[in-house]
Amino acid sequence: MQTFANYINGEWVNGPTFENRNPANTDDLVGLFVKGSAADVDAAAAAAEAALPAWSNMTGPARGNILFKTAELLDQRFEAISAEMTREEGKTLPEAKGEVRRAINIFKYFAGEGSRMGGFLVPSERDRVHMFAIRKPVGVVGLVTPWNFPIAIPVWKLAPALICGNTMVLKPASAAPLSAWRVVEALHDAGLPKGVVNFVAGSGGTLGSALVNARPVKAVSFTGSCEVGNWLHAEASKRRLRIQLEMGGKNPTIVLGDCDFNAAVENTVNAAMFSTGQKCTATSRAIVEDSIYDRFVEALVARTRKLKVGNGLEAGIDIGPAVDEGQLETNLRYIEIGRKEAGEPVVGGNRLTGGAYDKGYFVEPTIFANVTEDMRIAQEEIFGPVLAVMRARDFEDAMAIANRVPFGLSASIQTTNVSRVFEYIYRMEAGLLTVNLPSAGVEYQLPFGGTKDSSFGPKEQGPAAFDFYSDYKTVYLKY
């Protein structure tokens, strides 16, 4: 069994290990990972600090070449990395391939930015004064990532951080560290100078605390739960670190009577159930206009019954397992809460057992109908394949229901009425909106992130990523 070491100052560092198991078949040990310590984080931060001057002084195009090379290596290893992701996280192989492709494209996008990244050049009021602002890196950054997009999220933090000239310490999720490790391996093979990227796996509590307190660290980018994000924010604020948090959601899909009915059913089921509901942008509330409510629920149930749940490496599977036992228990606990609040689910509601199911963490895609706003399943993030369907009198009622949650990550509307589309675009309290598409499914060329309790700090991805990973230096020059 391969042991995947930590990567500090360009060296692979060994130590005691923890297991990474396949959630679809817990007999399948994916690998052993070195359990890093607070001292490892300190060493990693010191290495990043030492590497900073040379890396930040390298030209942008030269840094970009290393990112292009990394993309090329990931492309050569595409099939193997995708299959490993399915084994460690549980998502289906096509979903894993889509995510690895996205990671490759993110590297290429930011590699190109190395030749483009500009500042400001504006006219001065004064004679013969040339004034401009250039971008400079923030310094050593800490990156903390979740398990649900185990390659895309690490890459959408690493790539902009690198091209801006920062150096970094990456702490991946313990439930799925291999995909991020493969990225670090590719960066190493692409010739990244030692110390620029450091990788320390292990317990979030121990490493997170060390990271936020490591003296060289100037900024922390975190994606994960609100609970951990809020704690990190409080700690980081004590040292006035720059911080960026992407956290939970309770995303709505509003379905109006004038929608393209079949497309709306497909989009809702896709957003609620695919990836086992484990997308931060997944739909967990379908808010359906009264005029089509009964017919829509019936169609959702019929479509959901056709979904095949199983090992994501097998062809024809739509939905894999929950990522681990803890997430499975959360799903089952919320299903019981839903039963008490809304009655029997209209479809699903059980753990799947028997045969191969006994080896993994499988749960039936589950839908509760007649959910109302006072219920916990209408307000709290579950992060599983559990959909709450709510009845709205009309568009205005649907908008009010959609906005009355503490979260504001993504939202979707299904309608053919262009005026309502614009009303929704301007009034929906979410950072990421879709129209006649699933609420989940983002591209890397535009800003990504939420509002309200879902997010804090500058957006990720696209040109907006530079707002977090760089700072301006302003120059006034008399000639």
- Please report, as ranges, the residues that interact with ligand NAP according to CB under 6 A: 144-148, 171, 173-175, 203-205, 208, 223-225, 228, 231-232, 246-249, 280, 381, 383, 409, 450, 454
Give whichever of 73 and 210 is closer to ligand NAP, judged by the CB atom.
210
Give whichever of 296 and 456 is closer to ligand NAP, judged by the CB atom.
456
Of 246, 289, 364, 460, catalytic: 246
Nearest distance from C-beta of residue 44 to ligand NAP, angstroms: 14
Nearest distance from C-beta of residue 396 to ligand NAP, angstroms: 28
Nearest distance from C-beta of residue 270 to ligand NAP, angstroms: 17
Among all residues, whose Cβ is closest to ligand NAP? Answer: 208
Q: Which amino acid is at 445?
A: Q
CA-nearest of 227, 263, 204 to 435 is: 263
Nearest distance from C-beta of residue 92 to ligand NAP, angstroms: 18
Nearest distance from C-beta of residue 231 to ligand NAP, angstroms: 5
CB 7 within 8 Å of CB 197 = yes
380 is catalytic: no
Nearest distance from C-beta of residue 348 to ligand NAP, angstroms: 21
Nearest distance from C-beta of residue 474 to ligand NAP, angstroms: 32
Nearest distance from C-beta of residue 334 to ligand NAP, angstroms: 13
Give whichever of 148 and 167 is closer to ligand NAP, judged by the CB atom.
148
Give whichever of 84 and 289 is closer to ligand NAP, judged by the CB atom.
84
226 is catalytic: no
Give whichever of 20 and 270 is closer to ligand NAP, judged by the CB atom.
20
Q: Burial-class residue 435 by CB neighbours within 10 Å (0-12, 13-18, 19+).
A: middle
Give whichever of 114 and 204 is closer to ligand NAP, judged by the CB atom.
204
Longest dimension (CA), the chain: 81
Of 49, 84, 164, 280, catalytic: 280
CB 164 within 8 Å of CB 56 = no
As a whole number of angstroms, the distance between CA 116 and CA 106 comes to 15
As a whole number of angstroms, the distance between CA 479 and CA 251 comes to 55
Provide the annotated active-site residues.
246, 280
